Amino acid sequence: MGNRDNKTDVILIGAGIMSATLGTFLKELVPEWDITVFESLSKPGEESSNEWNNAGTGHAALCELNYTVEKPDGSLDISKAIKINEQFQVSMQFWSYLVKNNLIRNPQEFIMPLPHMSMVQGEENVSFLKKRYEAMSKNPLFEGMEFSDNPEKLSEWIPLIMKERQTNEPIAATKVEYGTDVNFGALTRLLFEHLSAQNVNIQYRHRVNNMKRTSDGLWELKVKNLDSGNVEHHKAKFIFIGGGGGSLPLLQKTRIPESKHIGGFPVSGLFMVCNNPEVVEKHHAKVYGKAKVGAPPMSVPHLDTRFIDNKKSLLFGPFAGFSPKFLKTGSMFDLILSVKPNNVLTMLSAGVKEMALTKYLIQQVLLSKEQRMEELREFIPTAKSEDWDLVVAGQRVQVIKDTEAGGKGTLQFGTEVITSSDGSVAALLGASPGASTAVHVMLEVLSRCFPEHMNEWEVKIKKMIPSFGMSLMDYPELLQEIRQSSEKALGLDKKELILS
């Protein structure tokens, strides 16, 4: 048994991009606070934040069609796209601040410029894309977006996708030059290196198994050292549960009222990867298509150029699937053990409502490699099986909760920050838009858990994020300034990319 007097100001559970971001904020705002991190794996950024476990899209709503909805009167609602783009600008400003101040180096290790494109086929879809382009390109946030339904132009933009395409169906695409590919695994590792240099106590191979409130108003965590087998007790004033898919079971252990009536539905993912340089060289973009009818929003197919370890590859997917694990390294009992008396009705209602989704996921799991290749050939008609391998991506645990609009057991596709009423514990659930908006989401954690400090912190936050508290869309000059300054700081303005 460990010592019960291990006391610290802040404990961050999990060494993914979310804890990395929150820890970095806290070290900038209150360097004197002591922070301890517990991570059950032996390195940071090994679960969803790892570069091979997510698609690395810097989600700025430049290409994801599910962020713009056609209203019954035929007009387009782009409010969600605006929100996500502004959230991504917040991330870009924070990362630029870190680079400019030498807190992290070599931005090309984690962010690369890459055009973001949307591509559709069929008359109805082409007319939707054109309407979307007309609505978005007027907005300063999406300035410079191009549209084309001319096959010759498309062959210039996406030669691999257009080669030997035998269809008379209309086809169209939009293109935004200033999109990004983000290696969230590398970014997480850079941030943890920085935190370690700032004397943050990072304990790998330490799994948090339980937590409770103590009579002195602190949180006491029961932590297992996975190497020695010892159980330690650690106390803190503030706990952040950044366990990715593992956050829900930990939140349930807090027993705070806000943790009740919430469930989680795990969705696994698979990508196909191509490392054949001849094929890889023929594509340079992230190209998002439209989700198939009945498919959930996280399975929108896309073909992406990726930059990982100084090497280019192509990624196609994701193919969704079902596994009862909440983490890639989790247990087959995760789902069943998350069912509690307080959420059983919520979970059962979701089970009944989401039969079609469950059926879809099971069908996806059963696809053979050749069937997956057929889906890929809708993007690359000339794709050869021998050039493509399957890789297992991370787990996403979608939140299930009771909502006014959806009723009992409604499946959510976004990110949810849950905090206790006294702000002493916060948890992050859900996975979309995910890592791209980590900075915005962690600012939300700060403002909900430390409202008494926000006035005093605002000046420093504004230094890091000049647009903090503003809607950038309404300040086109500031937007322009921020864009240019982030592009320069992050090396996104360099046309020549140095790759081995």
Contact letters for ligand FAD, residues 346-385 (x by CB under 6 A): ----------------------------------------
In terms of CB distance, is 263 or 318 closer to ligand FAD? 318
Minimum CB distance to ligand FAD, residue 348 (Å): 25
Which residues, numbered 469-498, are part of the site for ligand FAD (CB under 6 A)? none
Near ligand FAD in 182-241, by CB under 6 A: 184, 207-208
Quote the CA–CA distance of 106 and 99 in Å, as a whole number: 8
| Angle between helical axes of 355-365 and 344-353 (0-180°, round to 10) | 70
Other beta carbons within 10 Å of 374: 12
Lookup: tokens for 332:
């087959």
Q: How far is the CB of 406 from ligand FAD (least distance, A)?
A: 22
Task: Locate 37 and state its tokens.
Answer: 């991190």
Binder of ligand FAD out of 10, 11, 12, 14 (CB under 6 A): 14
Residue 440's SS3 state is helix
For residues 430 and 415, is the Cβ–Cβ distance under 8 A?
yes
Binding window for ligand FAD (CB under 6 A); candidates: 48-56, 63-71, 125-133, 307-315: 48-56
Q: Which is nearer to ligand FAD, 49 or 346 (CB)?
A: 49
Check binding of 96 to ligand FAD (CB under 6 A): no
| 47 makes contact with ligand FAD (CB under 6 A) | yes
Residue 171 is a binding residue for ligand FAD (CB under 6 A): no
Q: Is 46 in the site for ligand FAD (CB under 6 A)?
A: yes
- C-alpha distances in angstroms, 72 versus 67, 69, 75, 80, 436? 16, 10, 7, 17, 30
Q: Mention every residue, 6+ apart, whose C-beta is less than 8 A from residue 327.
A: 47, 243, 244, 245, 246, 334, 395
Q: Give the integer Cα–Cα distance in Å for 466 and 479.
A: 10
Window 237-266: residues binding ligand FAD (CB under 6 A): 242-244, 246, 250
Closest separation in Å from C-beta 163 to ligand FAD: 26
Member of 36, 57, 125, 343 binding ligand FAD (CB under 6 A) = 57
Identity of the amino acid at 453: H
Nearest to 473 by CA among 192, 15, 84: 84
- Site residues, ligand FAD (CB under 6 A): 13-19, 38-41, 46-49, 53-57, 59, 184, 207-208, 242-244, 246, 250, 269, 318, 327, 393-394, 396, 428, 431, 433-436
